[in-house]
Copies of this chain bind each other. A is one copy, B any other.
Amino acid sequence: MPIARRGLVLVLSSPSGAGKTTIARGLLASEPDLSLSVSATTRAPRAGEVDGRDYRFVSRETFAHMVEQDAFLEHAEVHGNRYGTMRSAVESVLARGADVLLDIDWQGANQVRRAMDGDVASVFVLPPSLPELERRLFARAADSEGAIRRRLSNALGEMDHWDEYDYVVVNENAEAALQQVRTILHAERLRRRRRVGLRDFVRQLKG
């Protein structure tokens, strides 16, 4: 009989170009008990997006009210739209013993740590070298060189937050980095304090 566990919040951050998104996709594809939570946003739905599945689409007034009610683990404004991770959405996943992946920046990570009283596992992904980071940023997009330079400069600033995280993974190779994050996830699931069914298990064991 499996031992009941409380799910965990896995926070994954990195400077842009370090390969976090590839790792997040790989994790979600290979870990059935790990999912994203549906975020709330003030931006308009795009074609094909379904309310409650892709996002919870809300007005600016509703969003502001939710912030006041402490309904978010973290929230941010990006290009004039507000996005937030809903506490209720995350809690319902954790309560059924599954894990939530939060793909957020260091500012969001700080908010989540505070909101969860530190009960998260946080991983920071670093690129293996500066030339490789430049290569990835240039390879990625049809952006102007100026835009890429700005992205690189931002990435270098974001990098300074590596020492706020529980774990650091250097992404030299996408498959190896994915495996390292998976190892962290699997070990964190074995933490005693998350295995809430252990007390009953030991009681039964002792007869």
Chain A interface (Cβ < 8 Å from any Cβ of B)? 3, 124, 126-127, 129-130, 133, 156, 159-160, 162-163, 165-170, 180, 183-184, 186-188, 190-192, 195, 198-199, 201-202, 205-207
Contact = CB atoms under 8 A, between A and B. Distances in A.
Contacts of A163: 192, 198-199
A110 B120 CA distance: 25
A144 B202 CA distance: 27
A187 B166 CA distance: 10
A165 B202 CA distance: 14
A190 B184 contact: yes
B130 A162 contact: no
Contact of A184 (B129, B170, B187, B202): B187
A190 B205 contact: no
Given A188-B187, A192-B162, A126 B205 contact: yes
